[in-house]
Amino acid sequence: MDFLNNYLIYLIPVFGLIGILVMAIKAAWVTKQNAGDGDMATLAGYIADGAMAFLRAEWKILGGFVAVAGILLAWSGTTVATSSPVIAISFVIGAFLSAFAGYLGMRIATKANVRTTQAARTSLAQALKVSFTGGTVMGLGVAGLAIIGLGSLFIVFYQVYVVKVTGSTVNGEAMAKALDVLAGFSLGAESIALFARVGGGIYTKAADVGADLVGKVEAGIPEDDVRNPATIADNVGDNVGDVAGMGADLFGSYVATMLATMVLGREIVSHDNFGGIAPVLLPMVIAGLGLIFSIVGAAMVKIKSETDSVQNALNIGNWASIVLTAIATYFVVQWMLPSGEFHMVRDEVNGVVKATVIPFTKNGVFGAIVVGLVVGTLMSIITEYYTAMGKRPVLSIIRQSSTGHATNIIGGLSVGMESTVLPILVLASGIYGSYYFAGLYGVAIAAAGMMATTAMQLAIDAFGPIADNAGGIAEMSRLPEEVRHRTDNLDAVGNTTAATGKGFAIASAALTSLALFAAFVGVAGIEHIDIYKADVLAGLFVGGMIPFIFSALCISAVGRAAMAMVEEVRRQFREIPGIMEYKAKPEYEKCVAISTKASIREMVAPGLIALITPVIIGFAFGPEVLGGLLAGVTVSGVLMGIFQSNAGGAWDNAKKSFEKGCDINGEIFYKKSEPHKASVTGDTVGDPFKDTSGPSMNILIKLMSIVSLVIAPHLNSHQTATAARVQKEMNKQPMSIHMVVKAEKSV
Amino acid sequence: MDFLNNYLIYLIPVFGLIGILVMAIKAAWVTKQNAGDGDMATLAGYIADGAMAFLRAEWKILGGFVAVAGILLAWSGTTVATSSPVIAISFVIGAFLSAFAGYLGMRIATKANVRTTQAARTSLAQALKVSFTGGTVMGLGVAGLAIIGLGSLFIVFYQVYVVKVTGSTVNGEAMAKALDVLAGFSLGAESIALFARVGGGIYTKAADVGADLVGKVEAGIPEDDVRNPATIADNVGDNVGDVAGMGADLFGSYVATMLATMVLGREIVSHDNFGGIAPVLLPMVIAGLGLIFSIVGAAMVKIKSETDSVQNALNIGNWASIVLTAIATYFVVQWMLPSGEFHMVRDEVNGVVKATVIPFTKNGVFGAIVVGLVVGTLMSIITEYYTAMGKRPVLSIIRQSSTGHATNIIGGLSVGMESTVLPILVLASGIYGSYYFAGLYGVAIAAAGMMATTAMQLAIDAFGPIADNAGGIAEMSRLPEEVRHRTDNLDAVGNTTAATGKGFAIASAALTSLALFAAFVGVAGIEHIDIYKADVLAGLFVGGMIPFIFSALCISAVGRAAMAMVEEVRRQFREIPGIMEYKAKPEYEKCVAISTKASIREMVAPGLIALITPVIIGFAFGPEVLGGLLAGVTVSGVLMGIFQSNAGGAWDNAKKSFEKGCDINGEIFYKKSEPHKASVTGDTVGDPFKDTSGPSMNILIKLMSIVSLVIAPHLNSHQTATAARVQKEMNKQPMSIHMVVKAEKSV
């Protein structure tokens, strides 16, 4: 096992380097594809410029935030022994790498889009190859940077805090300090992810809703029509929201999952001296394996003819990477973890011996990983059912569109609410099962198993918006029907993968948050989070409310920005003569500016709520109430995330169903029919649900848990309401507090 | 204090009898008012018949349910020592009285409606007098029956289980048994309340949405037009939903609050022998005082001229009853509870002495009651702000109506979500504060304080639908403009009181549920509900999901039933010539039948979810996981209740604002404008939100807590996941379970 301690730790960043190398090769390949000509190149240039303009504006704000937060962290790092000002450095590195991962993805996406359009002029197979390779670059970049960053920092902190101080003991305070400082990396990554996801989500939907409301509904021109002043902003939005935002989101999840598992791994090590450093390294090794097998899986995604199924090609690649990773993980677990049964025993606390004996075996750990994979798969399947065309939920919304806008909305809301049932049962079983196999470490490693093939998941996710953009460019450039037909084929698959990707993302966020939650409890040194206590219960209520206000801020921001967009588009149609006859060019840049400004302004409030609430609650009421708050945020956030994402997805596909015609009570309805108009209303309501507030829930719950984990060592005083009452009593009767006081009766 | 033990207990039902007596006098007064003539009498007859038809259909189903559930309860009562088959009897009585209270309210409401119309032909003052007296009958009936029922049963059980068995000791097992059997009364009441609320809610909104979609939107005829075939069903709905449903709901809350406080009062008694039976009797005495002062307050509701403010008159009566009750409560608390400080001390458990010393004084108890009154008041004020015309939230929806249906919906959803923030903060502070003053008993007695003036609250709540019906009858009978003007005045006030009543109801339900939750924990004999345990956390997730599926079932039921209604109305317009020219009478009874059938059928599934889930979870996973489930249901249910009720109320008033004209960016829009049409969509979506699923959340959370409380004595085995893992371990290593096992390392 010396090999593990001495060498394996240095191998981890190598996995990341391999990923980045392959990424560079693929990026070079995409860049040298034909970028088209004339209008195509011009329009793609507008999109790329708009996307960069947004990123620059966002970075300006985030730079200030990172500086301020970094200084605060450095200062707070000096106040307790188990932390260090160095946490600020890992915070800044995490923030930078997260932003950089988003940038890389967006750069390649804004190149791959127009090249996909060009490729679609020749064949579907080539168009898939270009768009999916673009997605792969994004996936490998995110995973590679995460592993290099986390792995390298861990090597440094392990050397500085553990090896130098204690020789090479991996348990105890030294290791706790190394991991606490490392948590700054995750905090940095997740903070940027939140702003990128919320900002990008507001941007893309303000543009989308605004473009649709005036273009499709009022002016009667198709989506992505070059005459619509908001169309460039709409296409920019796909890149800043679905690509850069999603990339930063998964970067954050990926890092947070590994970190939480490492913290819990350390607890196993220090309680039982189980397996040396192996439980700490395991999540990073699994991630590394997942990255390598994502490269293998991605290479298997290809089609030969125009009639081959794109969805099947993606599924084959996806399953290959998951199955191969699972098999490899089995052998790695067998090799890394010791044989025999080990027992997690809760220590003696406050003079009370807790005799809970929990067996802990390497097969148990592998079992928990399998639970994670099963949960992720089931969540994707359920999400697809609730949002796919032709299935009961979407059909019910179509039927309810026949009686108007209101019943369409009622139908979508009820589908969204209903769609929480199965995912929650799966998740609850997953929590129960992974805990049964390997305790809280099991819950964390299950999340790590789910997240292992993040590179492949992200390749599939990012392929969607690239194909969407390619279709937009084809439409705007008025290319032949067959080109648009090919990009539509890719886009339709992209819509399905977007929905299943969201199911996967929410499941991983939930398990990650629970892992972080468990890590927080360990680091804060509390024994219970007892909701029978009034103040913990109050914390649970407040926590449950946060996803509601967060969602309200996100969707009202989209509503406001979309209205500004509508007014601008109406103004241009009114004041610039000749737009409708293709004689005058709309002022695209004005719409881009509206989305950019609105999204940057509106992302601040929700972001600050997520960051500051745990700090206030933690310091004012102590770690147990903060634990209640986190539980409330997680449960309510998962529910609101599933509800909103699925309602939005179902509305979207109900609307899309009208393109081929919908049979309602024997009558066929097409586009422009009254039921179709009702379905457009649902789709528009669903837009901010599924692309702004819904997916932001993932980051919200993770970020609040990470903030709590980072401040946990600072939360010493246990100020519960019970404690406050006891304190009040102690002031009066200082002698008798530890005895059972029999009060005098004066009756 | 002997007076307390020996006589006060017999005085409690007397309060109830006074209430019923006053009710009878007021009911006789309403009945002898002029019931109008011609069309008015005919239409009112249709409404009364339709309402009775619904009640009969509902009772047929509920009769079967009560029989089955009663047998199950009787059987289960034989299985544990702390219960008795007699629980089935109190269950049946509770169910009967709850249904009877709803019946009484509906009888008087269907008399008062047409008499209010007739009175409105003379003056506003008289119209208010008739409609408000109708409401008062309802309020006094509900409160009176509840106090008589609960008070009398308690006397019987106290005699049978406590006095006969132990002499007159009020603590210990005997009293626990008496209260356990009494819990059956609350279970019966709340079960009926759930079905009445859900069934009534589906009925009223199916009719309302159906009538509006075809009548207002397609045929362009006003609301309550006699030509609309669904108009009678719509008016019946006001009675079965807003009157009978609401009455059963508050009957259930009122009883549950008293019961939970009594159970927690017994715990104080048995832990500290504090105050004899006083803490157990106190909640019923407070309720009795509240009933008397509700009579006083109701007598103060009157106006003199046409220009007097109806809202002010209601406010004066409401405040008078609250303030008088609070003052009387202060003296009663001083008189009933002993002087000095007493200390709640958690007993020795598992060999561990828990030295938590909590002071407990009579001033603390009064402080907790004041907290309850403040919470109730603040909740009403906040709810009014979020749903009132002319305030920021409703104005924002109006503005967003100018860009179409979709932005109106986005606006309303975001207002609803945002509106959870302040109520949750108030509620969390209320929990913290009332606990600080008097521990868990404080939380319960705070709820009892809030609910004390239920009779007055309900009088105000029931006045709304009576006035609404009166307006409907005036419109249908085509009475002169000035009559409709007077009923509109009353109806507008009724809309405000409906909104504030909902805020009050959700706050009381939340506190009641927490009190029941605390009572459940005590009766189940568990020490913690630790969400750090994986299975308790899984329970929290599943619990949080239940309000979502419950809401989905409710609103999709409304959607389906409304579509059936739309198709029927369209058919009648098509197939019955002359309806539009007032030459042919529509077939009202067909629409009444559709609503009746749909609501009875659709209320079953949500009802069973609420009843069965706690039983399954409790027996399969033990009381601690069930506690996690209850916490999840309560937090998520309160949030979803506030969200849906306020979104619905805000949409409603945004639509109503167009009647007087809305200024959007300097342009004034009226009815039939495009923004108004968008606002009608929002109102229609909001209908099931605010009148079906939203208010059902109250009963859902209370009912699940009561079911848990009733089954608590039966839940012995503590099957947590941790226990399961320990069990698995014990099978292998039977000798070492209570020792810290150091595992061999084979590495």
| Chain B hits for A729, Cβ within 8 Å | 343, 357-359
Residue A222 has pLDDT above 90, yes or no: no
More confident position, B540 or A735: B540
Query: Which of the residue ranges A464-473, A736-745, B212-221 would you say has the lowest mean pLDDT?
Result: A736-745
pLDDT in tens, B57-93: 888 888 999 999 999 888 887 777 667 788 999 999 9
Residue A500 has pLDDT above 60, yes or no: yes
Q: At A177, list the tokens.
A: 């300090």
Q: State the pLDDT at residue A504.
A: 81
pLDDT (mean) for B25-46: 90
Tell me what the pLDDT averaged over chain B comes to.
Answer: 86
Residue B97 has pLDDT above 80, yes or no: yes
Q: Is A172 exposed, middle or buried (0-12, 13-18, 19+ CB in 10 A)?
A: middle
- Mutation test of the interface with chain A: which of B214, B339, B342, B357, choosing the one with the most A Cβ atoms within 10 A? B357
| Chain A hits for B532, Cβ within 8 Å | 518, 521, 528-529, 627
The beta-carbon neighbor of B743 closest among A342, A416, A432 is A342
Q: Which chain B residue's Cα is nearest to A688? A: B410
B417/A549 touch (CB, cutoff 8 Å), yes or no: yes
What are B344's strand-pairing partners? Answer: B358
| Chain B hits for A556, Cβ within 8 Å | 396, 410-411, 414, 418
Residue with tokens 């601690």: B624
| Chain B hits for A736, Cβ within 8 Å | 357
- Do the beta carbons of residue A627 and residue B532 sit within 8 Å? yes
| Chain A hits for B397, Cβ within 8 Å | none
Q: What is the pTM of this model?
A: 0.91
* Phi–psi pair at B110, nearest 5 degrees: -75, -10
Q: State the pLDDT at residue A634.
A: 95
Residue B341 has pLDDT above 90, yes or no: no
Highest mean predicted confidence (pLDDT) among A12-16, A714-718, B161-165, B214-218: A12-16
A213-218, long-range: CB within 8 Å, 24+ apart, which pairs?
Answer: A213/A562, A213/A566, A213/A684, A213/B403, A213/B404, A213/B406, A213/B407, A214/A566, A214/A569, A214/A570, A214/A573, A215/A569, A216/A680, A217/A677, A217/A680, A217/B404, A218/A570
The secondary structure of B660-704 as a DSSP string is T-EEETTEEE-TTSHHHHHHHHHHHHHHHIIIIIHHHHHHHHHHH
More confident position, A743 or A98: A98
Q: Which helix (H) or strand (E) holds B348?
A: strand B348-349
d(CA B283, CA A79): 50
d(CA B438, CA B429): 14
Residue B516 has pLDDT above 50, yes or no: yes
pLDDT in tens, B281-325: 999 999 999 999 999 999 999 999 888 888 899 999 999 999 999
pLDDT in tens, B689-725: 998 999 899 889 999 999 999 898 888 644 444 555 5
pLDDT (mean) for A386-413: 92
B559/A400 touch (CB, cutoff 8 Å), yes or no: yes
- Do the beta carbons of residue B198 and residue B606 sit within 8 Å? yes
Q: State the pLDDT at residue A632.
A: 96
* Phi–psi pair at B345, nearest 5 degrees: -125, 125
How many CA atoms, within 13 angstroms, populate the side-chain half-sphere of residue A391?
A: 17
Closest CA of chain A from B12, distance in Å: 23
pLDDT in tens, B452-506: 999 999 999 889 889 988 998 998 888 998 998 899 889 888 887 888 888 888 8
Q: State the pLDDT at residue A747.
A: 30
Query: Which of the residue ranges A150-159, A496-505, B389-398 would you say has the lowest mean pLDDT?
Result: A496-505
Query: Which of the residue ranges A21-30, A568-577, B207-216 would you say has the lowest mean pLDDT?
Result: B207-216
**A737: confidence class by pLDDT, cuts 50, 70, 90:** very low
| Chain A hits for B676, Cβ within 8 Å | none
The beta-carbon neighbor of B631 closest among A425, A432, A531 is A531
B627/A531 touch (CB, cutoff 8 Å), yes or no: yes
More confident position, B66 or B525: B66
Tell me what the pLDDT averaged over chain A comes to.
Answer: 86
pLDDT (mean) for A486-493: 88
Q: Which one, of A708, A263, A320, lies nearest residue A445 by Cα? A: A263
Q: At B210, list the tokens.
A: 């159906």
More confident position, B660 or A315: A315
Q: State the pLDDT at residue A388.
A: 87
Q: State the pLDDT at residue B129.
A: 95
pLDDT (mean) for A279-291: 93
The beta-carbon neighbor of B631 closest among A521, A537, A559 is A537
B548/A639 touch (CB, cutoff 8 Å), yes or no: yes
Q: State the pLDDT at residue A239.
A: 86
Residue A417 has pLDDT above 90, yes or no: yes
Residue B578 has pLDDT above 90, yes or no: no
The beta-carbon neighbor of A409 closest among B353, B627, B685 is B685
B418/A549 touch (CB, cutoff 8 Å), yes or no: yes
| Chain A hits for B746, Cβ within 8 Å | 338-340
Q: State the pLDDT at residue B171.
A: 61
- Beta-carbon contacts of A87 under 8 Å, excluding residues fewer than 6 positions away, are A73, A74, A77, A180, A181, A183, A184, A710
Q: Which chain B residue's Cα is nearest to A720? A: B432
Q: Which chain B residue's Cα is nearest to A357? A: B726
Residue A695 has pLDDT above 50, yes or no: yes
Please give the single-letter amino acid code of residue B226. V
Q: pLDDT exceeding 70 applies to what percent of chain A?
A: 90
Residue with tokens 């609420």: B610
Q: State the pLDDT at residue B735.
A: 31
Closest CA of chain A from B315, distance in Å: 30
Q: State the pLDDT at residue A167.
A: 66
**A170: confidence class by pLDDT, cuts 50, 70, 90:** low
More confident position, A175 or A97: A97
Closest CA of chain B from A293, distance in Å: 30
The beta-carbon neighbor of A542 closest among B414, B425, B744 is B425
A559/B740 touch (CB, cutoff 8 Å), yes or no: no
Residue pairs spanning A and B at CB distance below 8 A: 346
Using the Cα atoms of residue A448, residue A451, residue A453 and residue A454 in order, give the sign of their dihedral.
negative
Q: State the pLDDT at residue B57.
A: 87
How many CA atoms, within 13 angstroms, populate the side-chain half-sphere of residue B704?
A: 35
Residue A4 has pLDDT above 70, yes or no: no
Measured in whole angstroms, how far is the alpha carbon of residue B194 from the centre of its chain? 9
The beta-carbon neighbor of A345 closest among B443, B732, B740 is B740
**A733: confidence class by pLDDT, cuts 50, 70, 90:** very low
A551/B341 touch (CB, cutoff 8 Å), yes or no: no
| Chain B hits for A537, Cβ within 8 Å | 431, 514, 631
d(CA B488, CA B117): 11
pLDDT (mean) for A339-350: 56
| Chain B hits for A400, Cβ within 8 Å | 559, 563
The beta-carbon neighbor of A420 closest among B400, B545, B563 is B545
Residue A746 has pLDDT above 60, yes or no: no
Q: State the pLDDT at residue B271.
A: 55
**B350: confidence class by pLDDT, cuts 50, 70, 90:** very low
The beta-carbon neighbor of A530 closest among B1, B529, B728 is B529
